[in-house]
């Protein structure tokens, strides 16, 4: 079972069973996966050329732009690593704080709880499968998949933010063999291989939007990521150039090269060029996205 850090329980008294990754197979919401699984998800899976390239920033901008277009939007961060306990101002209770979860929670236009936005919040800020191991458990893929399907009936568009880059391990093969039974949701995955964010994207079946953090090396990272997306049978719906470095030399030439290459090789259009801004807000990002191109790319036109 994957479970969020216990809301309302400060870390000092957090029992093992309420830690982020305590794994109880009977708690897997299999029924929800089966019953909702027949209804395809609408939205996109936002991945990036690396960690810290602006996935959350762009995800909130996409949510803002789509909400402005009159759509009910929900942000979903299946796995987040790095949480600190934030006590309530009243002195009693509080919640686990993670920047990505807070940002997606705030940018969603429907009422969501933090654990609906992120069903697997891990305390340690490191690679998710390692954070899970450090907490004495493992991430449960079925919970991550079910969480997306549970949000879908309540919104028009689900915008899912991956973790790190496109191929980040979430469960290592040894962890599968420790599990009493492999969930149906991942039965197609041989249990002698790892299961990661790429497998999650395949399980959700959403079109992928690639955030390219503009810096030296990004062309290679973008093309490799696009190939990995295509190799898994997913559609690269488009990409967004994010100017994370205010003074990157020849940024426009990099954008031109990627625009040509991603269009030619993957039929993936450029959906926006986001300027370096301090501070950067969802509304400002939304202004720089081509909402018509986004709607077209995600097949969201009425
Ligand atoms: N266009 C921009 N202008 C200025 N700062 C930006 C821009 N885009 C992102 N940033 C900043 O860069 C940092 C990383 O962005 P963000 O958290 O969105 O990345 P991420 O890919 O979601 O990271 P992670 O892999 O940790 O989830 C943040 O401090 C964010 O405010
Ligand atoms: Mg993020």
Residue-wise over 148-180: b if at least 16 C-beta within 10 A, else e?
bbbbbeebbbbbbbbbbbbbbbbbbeebbeeee
| Cα 75 to ligand 2 centroid, rounded to whole Å | 12
64, 77, 133, 266: the active-site residue:
77
Q: Is 112's pLDDT higher than 70?
A: yes
**What pLDDT does residue 34 have?**
41
Q: Is 22's pLDDT higher than 90?
A: no
pLDDT grade for 194, boundaries at 50, 70 and 90: confident
Which token pair is 40?
Answer: 């395809």
The whole-chain average pLDDT of the chain stands at 87
**What pLDDT does residue 186 have?**
56
Nearest CA to ligand 1 atom 25: 51
pLDDT grade for 54, boundaries at 50, 70 and 90: very high
Residue 1 CA, chain-centre distance (Å), reads: 19
| Cα 281 to ligand 1 centroid, rounded to whole Å | 11
Rounded CA gap, 135 and 284, in Å? 38
Averaged pLDDT for residues 244-267: 98
**What pLDDT does residue 173 have?**
80
């Amino acid at each position: 079972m994957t479970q969020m850090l216990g809301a309302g329980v400060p870390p000092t008294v957090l029992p093992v069973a309420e830690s982020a990754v305590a794994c109880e197979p009977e708690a897997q919401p299999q029924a929800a996966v089966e019953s909702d699984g027949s209804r395809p998800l609408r939205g996109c899976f936002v991945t990036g050329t690396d960690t810290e390239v602006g996935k959350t920033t762009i995800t909130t901008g996409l949510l803002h732009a789509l909400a402005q277009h009159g759509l009910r939007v929900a942000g979903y961060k299946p796995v987040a690593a790095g949480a600190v306990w934030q006590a309530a101002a009243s002195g009693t209770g509080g919640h686990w704080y993670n920047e990505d979860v807070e940002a997606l929670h705030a940018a969603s236009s429907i009422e969501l709880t933090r654990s609906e936005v992120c069903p697997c919040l891990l305390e340690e800020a490191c690679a998710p499968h390692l954070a899970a191991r450090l907490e004495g458990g493992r991430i449960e893929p079925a919970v991550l998949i079910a969480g997306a399907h549970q949000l879908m009936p309540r919104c028009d568009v689900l915008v899912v933010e991956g973790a790190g880059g496109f191929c980040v391990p979430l469960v290592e093969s040894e962890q599968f063999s420790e599990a009493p039974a492999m969930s149906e949701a991942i039965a197609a995955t041989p249990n002698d291989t790892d299961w990661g964010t790429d497998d999650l994207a395949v399980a959700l079946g959403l079109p992928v939007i690639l955030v390219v953090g503009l810096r030296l090396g990004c062309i290679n990272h973008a093309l490799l990521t696009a190939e990995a997306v295509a190799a898994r049978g997913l559609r690269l719906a488009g990409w967004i150039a994010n100017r994370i470095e205010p003074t990157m030399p020849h940024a426009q030439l990099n954008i031109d090269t990627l625009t040509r290459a991603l269009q030619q090789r993957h039929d993936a259009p450029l959906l926006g060029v986001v300027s370096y801004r301090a501070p950067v807000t969802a509304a400002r990002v939304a202004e720089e996205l081509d909402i018509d191109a986004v709607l077209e790319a995600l097949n969201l036109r009425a």
